[in-house]
Amino acid sequence: MANTRLLQLEDETTIADASKRVGMPRREFLQFCATVAAGLGLPPGAEAAVAEAVASKKRPSVIWLHFQECTGCTESLLRAEHPTLERLILDVISLDYHETLFAAAGHQVEQARKTAMTENRGAYLLVVEGAIPTRDGGIYCKVGGQTAIELTKECAADAAAVIAIGSCASWGGMPSTAPNPTGSSGVADVLGKPVATIPGCPPNPYNFLATVVHFLTFGALPPLDDLGRPKFAYSRLIHENCERRAHFDAGRFAMQFGDEGHRKGYCLYKLGCKGPETYANCPTVLFGDAGAGTWPVGCGHPCIGCTEQGVGFGKPQGVGFGKPIHMLAKVKNVEPPQQYPRIVEEQGVGATLGSASLLAAVAGAAAGAGAMVARNLGLSHQAEEARRARGAGGKTEVRDAYRDT
C-alpha cells in the first residue's frame, strides 16, 4: 500500500500521465512503485522517489546489443502473459538500439546507435545479450562489419552502466560449453572490468525491470554481489524458497520422472535438482505471470542451475559442461528455512504472494520481492479484468495466486 507521502506527491499530473501511459490505474501504479522500493530493499520513504523517477519523462537511453544467443532474454522480456510488464519496461527506458526489435535495418540502425550514443554520452545504459566470441580475433560474430568485441568496447566506453543480461553475456553461458570452438566469453572478460550481470537462461524479466528502476531513481545500479548480480534477486538459494523444501527436509523424493513421488510433488533433488547450489529468486517471482507453480521446479523439472556458472553451463575460469543432470547438487545450506510449507502437506503448492512478501520482510533483504512487484501488478490486473468480465457476464476466473494475497 502506498504511504502517505506517496499519496501526497506534488506532481499529481505527472503521476496521472504516467499511469495512463502504462495503462495502469493510478492506485496500482503507486502500489507498484512502493513494492519495487520495498523489493529493492530501499529504506522507508524511497517509494516516493521511485514514483517520481518512473513517472518522469526522463527515460534512460538504452543501447541493446545481441551476440551469440537464442534471443530468449528479449523474448522473455516481451512475452509476459500480461502486457503490463512489457509496457512498463518499454516505458521506463528509451530503447534506442535493439537489433531484433528495430523495424529498420542496415546503415539506418547503425546510425541510430551512433546518434543515441553521441546525444546521451556518459548517460546511456548498455545492455548486452549473448556471449562474445573471442577466438581468432572475434571473427565469429560481426554486426555492421564490426566484431562483437569491437562493438562492446565501443559502446561501453561512454555508457553510464553496462548490464550483461542472461547467462551467455554474464559469463559465456550455453555457447561457452565445451569445446567452446569460438572462445565464447562474458562481457566482463572482454571489457576487463566488472559489469552488472542478470544471469538466467533466460533471465527473469522482473529482475531486469527492478534493476532499471533503481538506475532510473538513483542514477546507479543496485548493490551487486561478487559476480555482478543484483543482491535483491540473487542473494538466496533456490532451495531456501522452494515450495518442495518440506519434502526435502522430510526425506520425500521423486526417484524417477513420472513415479508416485514425482506425481505427488516430492522433492526433485534425486532427479538432479541444482536448487541447493543455485542462487536466484525463481521460486518467489515465477515466470510469465501465469500463476502459482510457473517455474521449472513448480512444473516438475529439476532446476538445472541456469543462473550459476559451472552448474548450468560452463565452469569457472574456462570451458566445461556444467554439472550434468545426473549429478547431485552440493547442498550449500542445510539449515531449514524459517518459512516453508507444512511438513504434513503432500503436494507442493506454489509459494504465495503473501508468504513471499512476508519472507522478504522477515529477511529484510528483498529475496526477490523487488521483482514480485510487477507480478503482483499483473495479477491484480488479471483480477481487475476478471471482476470486469464477471460484471459483464464473463466467466474469467481470478487466479489462485491472487486469491492468496
**Considering the complex, what minimum distance in angstroms separates the CB of residue 240 from ligand SF4?**
8
User: Taking CB under 6 A as the rule, does residue 269 contact ligand SF4?
Assistant: yes
> What residues contact 344, with CB distance under 8 A and at least 6 apart?
none
Residue with Cβ nearer ligand SF4 (105 or 299) = 299
Residue with Cβ nearer ligand SF4 (155 or 238) = 238
User: Taking CB under 6 A as the rule, does residue 323 contact ligand SF4?
Assistant: no
Site string for ligand F3S, 298-337 (x = CB under 6 A): -----xxxxx------------------------------
CB of 367 within 8 A of CB of 360? yes
C-alpha closest to that of 276 among 250, 295, 248, 255: 248
C-alpha closest to that of 171 among 324, 276, 308: 308
Residues in the chain: 405
Residue with Cβ nearer ligand FSX (166 or 378) = 166
C-alpha closest to that of 42 among 210, 241, 259: 210
Using CB under 6 A, count the residues that bind ligand FSX.
Answer: 15
Q: Which grid coordinates are listed for 12?
A: 499529481
> What residues contact 251, with CB distance under 8 A and at least 6 apart?
none
Q: Determine which residue in the list 76, 134, 278, 309 makes contact with ligand F3S, applying CB under 6 A.
A: 278
Residues 358 and 343: their CA atoms lie apart, in Å, by: 19
**Considering the complex, what minimum distance in angstroms separates the CB of residue 78 from ligand FSX?**
12
Residue 222: cis peptide before it, omega within 30 degrees of 0: no
User: Taking CB under 6 A as the rule, does residue 176 contact ligand F3S?
Assistant: no
C-alpha closest to that of 23 among 378, 403, 396: 378
Could you tell me which stretch among 31-39, 66-74, 237-245, 386-394 binds ligand SF4 (CB under 6 A)? 237-245
Q: Determine which residue in the list 39, 60, 130, 283 makes contact with ligand FSX, applying CB under 6 A.
A: 130
Q: Interface with ligand FSX by CB under 6 A: which residues?
A: 69-73, 129-130, 166-169, 173-174, 201-202
Q: Interface with ligand SF4 by CB under 6 A: which residues?
A: 238-239, 242, 244-245, 248, 267-269, 273, 275-276, 297, 303
